[in-house]
Each structure stands twice: as structure tokens, then as C-alpha cells.
Amino acid sequence: MAGIKCIVIISFLLLTPAVFLDDTVSGEEMDGVLLYEVNPYGNYEGVSLFNYGSEKVNLKGWSITDIEGTLTFIADTYIESNSRLTITKAISEDDWFSGRENVLTVNDPGLKKEKTFTPADGGDDIFLYRGGTMVDAICYGSKRTDSGWNGEPVKISSGKYILRIGSQDTNSSSDWIATKPGLTNNAFDPNLYFDAYVTPFSFPESQGEPIFKAIEDAKEEVLISIYLLTSVPMVALLCDLSEKGVDVNILLEGDILGNMGSSEIPLMRSLVDSGGDVYFINDSISGNFERYAYVHNKYAVIDQETVVVTSENWTADNLGSKGNRGWGAAIESREYAEYVKQIFLNDVDTTWGDVQSLSGRYPDAKPYSGNLTYGGSSSSYQTTTYEARVMPSFSPDNSYSTLRYFIDNAEDRVYSQQLDLGSSYQTITDASPIKWMSSAAERGVDAKFMLDASIDKNAVTEVVNTINNTTDIEAIALDGRKGVFSMIHNKGVVIDDVVWVASVNWTENSFMNNREVAVIIDSPEVAEFFTGLFMEDWGTNQHSILKITHEVLHHENEAIHTFTASGPEDSTYIWNLGNGDLRTTAINKIVLKDLPEGDHTISVTIEETGQSASHNYSASAEEEKEEAGSDNNLIMMAGAGVFAAIGALIMFIRKNINR
């Protein structure tokens, strides 16, 4: 005989999610009982309901159907306000979905089962009815329905379940996410800011000095979540802190690409021997449950007061003098530090089976055989700290929707410097950040995109050319900056007076499947700091405003005119000297002599881009003679690099002069 069932109050996930909805779909504030979860995979598949109302609800007479089968509540079954009820095929204490409190099976005597109600792996549509009235619907995967649903179904992939987020019910995919057990599922909240003091810095210039300084000051606790940590001085510092009683906890990616992590394990063994705790998440064994494709973070939380976020791994090169181009920020804010700490505690949790201690993963690991004495940082890198507001963002929770929100609302500039642009985003559809930038450019926003070309220059150049030819974005492929860095490993964006400092590459995996960290810094000063770096790296290229400068060198009573274009040095320049006289140079300058007296116009076109510029000038025989007779008869070209020996300059003129 069916009894009266009472469903008690449950707690939400780690952090109560806020809402970010598609502007094209309007909704209502959620109230009463709605569908909350759909778990289509495994032996304990099922659905859950949630009561968003202020009063308990008796579900007797309600039903859930996927058309193929229906479950109807035939006994008094109460669900309290702010409470969840789960209905599964079977129950196991070891299962995350069915092993929770307040679970019914489909065979419960309080339910009437008609045919087979089983959420399909590849896609299904599920409806909730109160009597004969439809209350809610969810459509996911390969299914399409117009009944009670708006737009496309919720995307889902193997091993994930569907979870409702937000505070509105739009009956569209905006209400739901596909997620895994053990994830934090924090939706984007445009109002989630914390007051902070921010110290921006860059790689390789800083050599990691701000990171060392922040961690040196630790008194109680250092939490680090990072893809790769192989800097010997950093590990030596962490060992020193651990021996002094500071609680040092490290979470590392356990399935690093290649063998980059081969030097990491001995260092971590030494840290554990010093009293620290080291954990690895993920492994290379196919079929094992993993919450994330990769944990690709680069952050530290120090004494629940300071957070350091970087685009760069903490390797010997990046925390030394040979680092990549990357951005970083040290952020002082208790509220922000507490937020990030909760993310760390969620990810390091061993409950889900994808996290192991160093001793559990590598029981035979040997300690580092070299010197682990920390001598302090020797860098003289200067920093400035600014007042700011900061917003947290993480993948896979909300980094994608957060970045889109800011680019969609850009008014003045979007400057993006990226290591990678994934294949799925090279096709400029609405899903691609390039499309978001393109739309901003069409509104008049200054949109610049810089992509690393150090790995595959030809392929990247092709991508950049496509962007330049099909959008209003100015894009360049950069193969390092000579004498500064060899590779762009950055993932940074400046949007108006806001800066995005992150580990998030512009790839689908990085946004949707990895654990990644990003911080949004709202500060004109910090924005200008990173804009300055960006523009230095942008340099002189095909998108610079093309100008011609004209300088005169006198040698042996002969006036030699040098014209320099402000474009890139290694392009093809077509010069129009007037009267149809065209000359081509493979460098951005041309040298002329024996010019006729009078006023002239010279113009130039960069063959690769079609950009053109003109310059008016005069050639006067009397002035040239006067100049030639003066004490200062050598006029150098500003910015053209002609400060070499006169002999070398004369050789250059003889080889390159065009008559």
C-alpha cells in the first residue's frame, strides 16, 4: 500500500547559479514544480523534479512522459519548497544520481508505469503534466519538438546529464546545460563583481616575479591548480613554506600531452616529503570517468586573500628569462579569493574517482636529485597596483557565455591575442568568437586579432587572411618578437576598459570541456597596461596606417632622397614616381637621386594588402647646394634605422638606387 511521501529540503550545488539567457527568448520567473535533471546514461538513469515555489506541492495526479512511456503519481507524494525529487530505473548507494536522498524507482507503488519510460541516450523530449495541463518540457540531443519547446534542443554528449540553471523558465536550451557529476555549473552573472587591488604583469618580462612575491608572503595556505609546474625555484619556495607550516596543496593535470611533465613528478615528490599535498586529476586510461578533458588552469590562492591568475604554465622558461608572451595578474580580494578557493576544493575532491594523491598515483616516485634551495627572485621587474573590480569565470561553467557577453557589448575596442583558434571557430559562424568580434567591428568597434604563427605559419596565415578578407577585423599572424619572445602563448583580450586574463584558449575543448580559469578585470589603468603590450606586439604591419617619410642625405655634393613607407619591412612595395614611372622594392623604402627641380608627388602601394599612400615634396637645386655646403650635411632618416656607418650607407645607396 502506498504511503505518504515527504521530500525534504536539499542544498544547491557548490555555488548557487545565476542566470544568463538568450536575449531572443523571453521567460517567466520560475515557480512551482519543474523538470530539473535528466540523466540518460548508465544503469541508474532517470529524471528529477524541483520545487521552486514557496509552498509544498502534492504530486498526486501529476505525470512525466517521453511519449514512449509515462509515469503517473497515484499516491500522495509531497515535494517541499526548495526541494528535489529523483526518479530512477534502479538505486545504488554508490551511484551519484540514485544514491542521493529522496529517490523513487519507476516501480515504486506510488507510481503508475505505462509502457517504458527511459530517457534516451542520443536524445529525447520529456514533458511534465499536472492533470491534463503541460507544466514543463525539455528537448535534448537529436530530438525536435514544437510542443512546449522553443528553438534548438539542448546539446548533450556521452557521459553527461542535463541540468536546469538560472531563475527563468523560457522553455528553450538557454534554461539548461549538459554537465557531469562533480562540476560546479555556475552560470554567468553580469553583476558578480568583487572589489580588488590588481597588479598586472607580463611574460617574459616579469620572469614570474609577481608570482614569487605573492607566494613568498604566504603565512597559512597556498592552493595551486595548474596544468604544468616544473620551475625548480618555485618548487623550492613551496618546499620552504611547507616546512615552515604553511598548508601547501597542489592540483595538477595527470595526463599532460607529450612528456612535458616527466620532470614534474620528482619535484612534486620532494614537495610531499616537505609536508605538502599534491594531487593529480585525470589519467590516460580509456574509459575512466573524468570530469574534465584537461585541467588547464594556471592559478594560485594565497591565504584566502590573494589570487594569481596567468596564461602561462609555471615552467623554468616562463618563470625565467625565456618565457612565452603571456599575461598575468595578482589580485588582492578576500571575496574573490574565497570564490576561487571553493572552485579548488570542488576540483580536488576525491569523491568522483578522477583525483589521486601523488603517493596513490606514483607510489615509487623518487625526489628531485638537484638543489632545492630557494634564493629569492633576482628580477628587477617593476609593478604598479591599481584599484579595480574583478569578476570570476571558469570553464566549462561560463567562460564562453561570459566572453561573448563582453564582446557583444563592446563599444570602443576588442584586442585579442591568442595562441590558438580551434578548427570549429575558424568557420565564422555565430558560435565563433571571431564572429562576435566581426559583429563588433561592424558597429564601429576597433577589432584587432593576433594569432600565434610559431607552430604552423602557413596554416595560421591562411586563417588570418580569411578573417581579413571576410570581416572588418584587422588580423595578423605573429611568429614571435625578435629579442622579446618566440611564441604567443597568451589567451588575453582587452574589451573597452575591461581585461580578460585567462588560461582559456579559443577552442571548443577549452571553453566546453576543460577546467580553465579566467578573471575579468574592470579597470581603465589595467586595460591600458595590457593595451600597451598588445600594441607593442602588434607593431608595424599591414594594418598600420600607411605613411611615407622623406629624408635627404648629401654625399659629394649630391642629394640622395630616401622615401620610407611605414608598412612591414618584408612586403612588396610598388612606387609611383610620377609620369607613369613605377618601381618595385622588396623592402619598405626606395632611394632616388638626380631628381628634377620642382614639386613632386610620390605614392606607394603594398602589393599584399592594396594599401596606398602619397607624399608631396619639393626638390630644389639651390637648397640642395646650400645643404651640401653646410656643416650638418648628413640628415638621418628618423625611425628608418640609418644610423650605421656612412660607408655602409653609401654601399646601400649604390646597390639600391633607382634612376
Grid coordinates representing 395 are 570553464
Residue 256 has pLDDT above 50, yes or no: yes
Mean pLDDT of 12-33: 49
- Beta-strand runs (E) in 142-258: 161-164, 168-169, 176-179, 194-203, 221-226, 247-253
Which pLDDT band, with edges at 50, 70 and 90, does 7 fall under?
very low
Grid coordinates representing 548 are 611615407
* Per-position b or e across 420-450, b if 16+ CB within 10 A of its CB: bbeeebbebeeebbbbbbbbbbeeebebbbb
DSSP summary character for residue 261: G
pLDDT digits (tens, 9 = 90+) for 580-613: 899 999 999 999 988 988 999 999 988 876 778 8
Contact at 8 Å (CB) between 500 and 406?
A: yes
Mean pLDDT of 190-201: 98
pLDDT digits (tens, 9 = 90+) for 260-274: 678 999 999 999 999
* Predicted pLDDT of residue 327: 98
Residue 8 has pLDDT above 60, yes or no: no
User: Which residues, in sequence order, are bridge partners of residue 131?
Assistant: none
Mean pLDDT of 551-562: 86
Range name among 38-42, 204-208, 604-608 with the lowest pLDDT average = 604-608
* Per-position b or e across 451-478, b if 16+ CB within 10 A of its CB: bbbbeeeeebeebbeebbeebbbbbbbb
* Predicted pLDDT of residue 25: 43
Preceding peptide of 363 cis, ω within 30°:
no
Contact at 8 Å (CB) between 549 and 624?
A: no
Residue 570 has pLDDT above 90, yes or no: no
* Predicted pLDDT of residue 621: 61
The count of C-alpha atoms lying within 13 angstroms of the C-alpha of 220, restricted to the half-sphere facing its C-beta, is 6
* Predicted pLDDT of residue 558: 84
Q: What is the CA radius of gyration of the chain?
A: 31
What does the DSSP assignment read for 114-126? Answer: EE-----SSEEEE
| Closest C-alpha among 342, 140, 370, 70 to residue 225 | 342
Cα–Cα distance for residue pair 419/449, rounded to 1 Å: 11
Residue type, 427: T
Contact at 8 Å (CB) between 218 and 242?
A: no
Q: What percent of the chain stands above pLDDT 70? A: 89
- Beta-strand runs (E) in 106-246: 111-115, 123-130, 133-141, 161-164, 168-169, 176-179, 194-203, 221-226
* Predicted pLDDT of residue 294: 97
What does the domain layout of the chain look like in residue ranges? 5-179, 194-361, 409-505+520-538, 548-656
Range name among 2-16, 355-369, 376-390 with the lowest pLDDT average = 2-16
Cα–Cα distance for residue pair 331/305, rounded to 1 Å: 8
Contact at 8 Å (CB) between 115 and 69?
A: yes
| Closest C-alpha among 294, 315, 337 to residue 519 | 337
Q: What percent of the chain stands above pLDDT 90? A: 77
Which pLDDT band, with edges at 50, 70 and 90, does 653 fall under?
very low
Residue 461 vs residues 421, 456, 581, 625: alpha-carbon distances, Å: 12, 9, 33, 49
Mean pLDDT of 181-205: 96
What is the number of H-type helices and E-type strands within the chain? 13, 38
Give the H or E element holding residue 656: helix 646-656
Q: Is 513 exposed, middle or buried (0-12, 13-18, 19+ CB in 10 A)?
A: buried
Residue 5 has pLDDT above 50, yes or no: no
Query: Could you tell me which residues come within 8 angstroms of residue 470 by beta carbon, excluding any fewer than 6 positions away?
Result: 428
More confident call, 579 vs 133? 133
| Closest C-alpha among 539, 546, 535, 538 to residue 610 | 546
Grid coordinates representing 110 are 506510488
Grid coordinates representing 158 are 556521452
Mean pLDDT of 101-127: 95
Contact at 8 Å (CB) between 36 and 177?
A: no
Residue type, 88: T
* Predicted pLDDT of residue 379: 79
Q: How many whole angstroms from its chain centre is CA 199? A: 19
- Helices 433-442 and 399-408 pack at an angle, to 10 degrees, of 10
* Predicted pLDDT of residue 27: 54
Mean pLDDT of 200-228: 97
Q: Hey, do 5-179 and 194-361 end up sharing a CATH topology, with the first three levels equal?
A: no
Q: What are phi and psi of 88, to 5 degrees?
A: -130, 165
User: Which residues, in sequence order, are bridge partners of residue 522?
Assistant: 389, 498
Task: Say whether pTM exceeds 0.85.
Answer: no
Q: What are phi and psi of 174, to 5 degrees?
A: -65, -20
Contact at 8 Å (CB) between 213 and 377?
A: yes
Residue 152 has pLDDT above 60, yes or no: yes
CATH dotted code for 548-656: 2.60.40.10
Residue type, 132: G
Cα–Cα distance for residue pair 180/289, rounded to 1 Å: 10
Mean pLDDT of 233-246: 98
pLDDT digits (tens, 9 = 90+) for 480-535: 998 899 999 999 999 999 999 999 999 999 999 999 999 999 999 999 999 999 99
Cα–Cα distance for residue pair 558/659, rounded to 1 Å: 14
Contact at 8 Å (CB) between 169 and 30?
A: yes
Query: Could you tell me which residues come within 8 angstroms of residue 622 by beta carbon, excluding any fewer than 6 positions away?
Result: none
Cα–Cα distance for residue pair 309/317, rounded to 1 Å: 17
Grid coordinates representing 117 are 519510460
Residue 568 has pLDDT above 90, yes or no: no
What does the DSSP assignment read for 578-634? Answer: STT-EEEESSSEEEEESPPSEEEEEEEEETTT--EEEEEEEE-HHHHHHHHHSS--B
Which pLDDT band, with edges at 50, 70 and 90, does 66 fall under?
very high
Mean pLDDT of 307-336: 97
pLDDT digits (tens, 9 = 90+) for 431-462: 999 999 999 999 999 999 999 999 999 999 99
Q: What are phi and psi of 206, to 5 degrees?
A: -80, -20
Torsion (CA) 357, 358, 363, 367 in degrees, nearest 10 = -160
Range name among 61-70, 152-161, 215-224, 514-523 with the lowest pLDDT average = 152-161
* Predicted pLDDT of residue 549: 93
Mean pLDDT of the chain: 88
CATH class of this structure's domain 5-179: mainly beta
Mean pLDDT of 15-33: 51
Name the CATH code of domain 194-361 (choices 3.30.870.10, 3.30.70.2190, 3.30.43.10, 3.50.50.60): 3.30.870.10
CATH class of this structure's domain 409-505+520-538: alpha beta
* Predicted pLDDT of residue 6: 40
